[in-house]
A = this chain, B = another copy of it.
Amino acid sequence: MTKLDEMYDKLTLPTKAKIALVVLDGVGDIATKENGFLTPLEAAKTPIMDKLSREAIQGRMTPVAPGVTPGSGPGHLALFGYDPVDTQVGRGVIEALGLGLELKAGDVAARANFCSLDADGLVTDRRAGRIETEECERLCAILSKKIKKVSNTQIIIQPGKGHRFVVIFRGTGMEGPLNDTDPQREGLPIAESTPLDPSSKKAQKAAKLIKAFYDKALPILKDERPANGFLMRGIAHQPDIPTFEERYKLKAACLAVYPMYKGLAQLVGMDKVEGPQSISEQFNRYLEEYDNYDFFFIHYKYTDMYGEDGNFEAKKKAIEELDEALPILLQKRPDVIAITGDHSTPCPMKGHSWHPQPVLLTSAFSGSDKLDRFTETGANIGSMGVFDAKFLIRHMQAHAMMFDKYGA
């Protein structure tokens, strides 16, 4: 725990306040000539957010560090208040969470994908001709059936899209990260997975296990074509991080539709509230769960999805749809509301970016930055300034009056 975290920890008081974090995934954007120098947030009609804005403060958040584009993992960890540089979650873990697998502390997870091998065991196609999802599912089912355990370690195999799947090693005394078994180019054999930190006994154990898993699995696949081998990447363990409740004294619920975000919330110990399939349903479920939790993480995927497509109009529309649903949330208005993204996904870039995402925060103690709208340009002149996303939760706690005075 850092000195700063220790200070926050000592100051933290319990609260009866309700806190809502509404994440429009990838909402931040950039104003370009092509789009009339407007961002989707600026172009959208958002009467409800406009109204909130008049009694709110705004700012922009650096998701990780200046210039760094985060994946969904670090983006959300920062929103949840965990330093995304100190708290690294391996790609294998993220992938497993994304497939809806429940991980336990100490699980080692790997992204895997089928490949083609020649008679000498050299990789001839790193993606096995990009086999269909159905074929991947069939092969994973065979492996799952024939390999339940290696030594005392449980093996969990879950197919993904195309040639991709995930392997979980559930045992004891293991840790990541380990080097990939992907040799990165054709004509080479499957690489041996070795600990990134060679002195780690736990990673050595994991490496041995992976070798043993290969020894069992490759013979099973040997007569398959084209997928008679597989490569593993991002081999990492589920980090043992303090839960949201331990860290913030907040009982938290996750209201997300997509498995990845449920997984990330679960990683920090939030309860997954299952069922809702749309933002209206998510807000309605918030109303139902109001008394059961202190903190509500409400995740909206479509702003990111259309940003990735570079579809300005659809991203604008997605923002408008969220705005239209907001009155449901406001039926039992949370004491503290923050509306933001986990990063920017600018339409002109068709992908995540490093641009600080705008944030709006409203509470009885927020005062007003006197801004008529919630936009990137407005957020630039808000009183929160540009700050590290990991501090958003501290701002929210302060507005929920959760911090004792520091010093006399």
- Please, which residue of chain B has its CB at the minimum distance from the CB of A97? B408
The reply on A15 being an interface residue by CB < 8 A is no
Q: How large is the interface on A (under 10, 10 to 19, 20 to 34, 35 or more residues)?
A: 35 or more
B346–A73 CB distance below 8 A: no
Name which of A33, A365, A381 has the most chain B CB atoms within 10 A of its CB. A365
Chain B residues positioned under 8 Å from A67 (CB to CB): 8, 391, 394-395, 397-399, 403
B365–A68 CB distance below 8 A: no
**A8-42 vs B: 1/0 string, CB under 8 Å?**
10010000000000000000011111000101000
**A359-395 vs B: 1/0 string, CB under 8 Å?**
0000001111110000011001111111100010011
Task: State which of B88, B351, B368, B380 has its C-beta within 8 Å of the C-beta of A383.
Answer: B380
Chain B residues positioned under 8 Å from A384 (CB to CB): 386
A3–B370 CB distance below 8 A: no
Chain B residues positioned under 8 Å from A91 (CB to CB): 407-408
A368–B408 CB distance below 8 A: no
The reply on A276 being an interface residue by CB < 8 A is no
Of A58-66, A142-150, A293-301, A309-317, the segment with at least 4 beta carbons within 8 Å of chain B is A58-66
- Shortest beta-carbon distance from A390 to chain B in Å: 9
The reply on A280 being an interface residue by CB < 8 A is no
CA distance A320 to B92 in the complex (A): 55
Task: State which of B3, B64, B69 has its C-beta within 8 Å of the C-beta of A86.
Answer: B3
The reply on A348 being an interface residue by CB < 8 A is yes
B85–A4 CB distance below 8 A: yes
The reply on A304 being an interface residue by CB < 8 A is no
B365–A349 CB distance below 8 A: yes
- Shortest beta-carbon distance from A206 to chain B in Å: 19
The reply on A194 being an interface residue by CB < 8 A is no
- Shortest beta-carbon distance from A170 to chain B in Å: 21
B69–A405 CB distance below 8 A: yes
The reply on A241 being an interface residue by CB < 8 A is no
A74–B406 CB distance below 8 A: yes
The reply on A190 being an interface residue by CB < 8 A is no
- CB proximity to B under 8 Å, residues A84-111: 84-86, 88-89, 91, 94-95
B408–A69 CB distance below 8 A: no
A408–B66 CB distance below 8 A: no
Contact A367/B68 with A60-B385, A85-B4, A408-B91 known, Cβ cut-off 8 Å: no
B386–A376 CB distance below 8 A: no
- Please, which residue of chain B has its CB at the minimum distance from the CB of A368? B31
Contact A407/B89 with A7-B65, A67-B398, A368-B31 known, Cβ cut-off 8 Å: yes
The reply on A352 being an interface residue by CB < 8 A is yes
Chain B residues positioned under 8 Å from A71 (CB to CB): 405-408
Chain B residues positioned under 8 Å from A382 (CB to CB): 380
The reply on A70 being an interface residue by CB < 8 A is yes
B383–A376 CB distance below 8 A: yes
The 7 nearest A-B residue pairs measured at CB: A30-B367, A385-B386, A67-B398, A67-B394, A71-B407, A66-B391, A74-B407
Q: Can you pick out 29 interface pairs between chain A and chain B where the beta carbons lie within 8 Å of each other?
A: A30-B367, A31-B369, A33-B368, A37-B368, A59-B386, A60-B383, A60-B385, A65-B391, A66-B387, A67-B399, A67-B403, A68-B403, A69-B406, A70-B406, A73-B407, A74-B406, A84-B406, A84-B407, A88-B407, A94-B408, A234-B408, A348-B365, A353-B365, A355-B367, A355-B383, A370-B377, A380-B383, A380-B385, A384-B386
A: residues with CB less than 8 A from B are: 3-4, 7-8, 11, 29-33, 37, 39, 55, 59-60, 64-74, 84-86, 88-89, 91, 94-95, 234, 346, 348-349, 351-356, 365-370, 376-377, 380-387, 391, 394-395, 397-399, 403, 405-408
